[in-house]
A = this chain, B = another copy of it.
Amino acid sequence: MISKTYTKYIQSLHEKKFRDVENAFIAEGSKVVMDLLTSAKIVCERLLATADWLKENEQQIRKYSNVPLEIIEDFELDKISALSTPNKVLGVFKKIVVGPIQPKGKITLVLDTIQDPGNLGTIIRIADWFGISAIICSENCADQYNPKVVQSTMGSLARVEVKYTNLTDWLIKNRDIKIFATALNGAGIDSIKGLKEAIILIGNESKGLSAEVLDLANEKITIPKAGGAESLNAAVATGIILSHVI
């Protein structure tokens, strides 16, 4: 049984302005919650779960965390969940502390105005798959703590650092690292094979990269095309590019 006040508190975390005030976010479902819980850098404030889920998972949780656990009924989970089909467990986590991102010696993704939460979450998951540890987001990207983003990362938020900042300032500060952008008339995608250090720019799906950001790119690459579609989904393009780097 959770109090009215705590119910309202969790509901407020569905919205960015309250997440910012409380410095907290929610995550749901076994896979996502367990991935965040077992990450050394993420603090869990409270875990609310159905009795059967807790019975199955409590022992495992106690290996990693002494987080307060609370049994809730399905109707209570319905009230606090951001999912259309609530999924047995919901965790309240403190936002992750992300220091400055150093692009030296690694591949860094830079996202310009990725506004769809599903796309952002999927990109974080792709980065994790390919071992990319850091993503820089423009300030107008979707919020990494939006419940839809958290859900579509499938737990990868535990392993990929996401930093929001002014892109042009950040790119200028790191101009000693080569910056790659996708474009219609760029080099073949095989030219990025084996890169060990690079900044890869991904633009907004309908508008692409903003002019100021595109101006800072040193190299242009093209995803081969053989058919009629005008564009690719931003997350799909990210996956294709990273699969050719590795």
Contacts and interface: CB of A to CB of B under 8 A. Distances in A.
A194 to B, nearest CB: 12
Given A125-B233, A129-B225, A224-B246, 4 more contacts: A128-B229, A130-B225, A131-B227, A159-B228
Nearest to A124: B229
A187 B246 CA distance: 15
Given A232-B239, A233-B235, A235-B236, A227 B132 contact: yes
A240 interface: yes
A180 to B, nearest CB: 16
Interface residues of A, number: 37
A225 B125 CA distance: 12
25 contacts: A31-B230, A118-B118, A122-B236, A125-B229, A125-B233, A126-B232, A129-B225, A129-B226, A129-B227, A129-B228, A130-B224, A131-B226, A155-B229, A155-B230, A156-B228, A159-B227, A223-B243, A224-B243, A226-B246, A236-B236, A237-B239, A239-B239, A239-B240, A243-B244, A244-B244
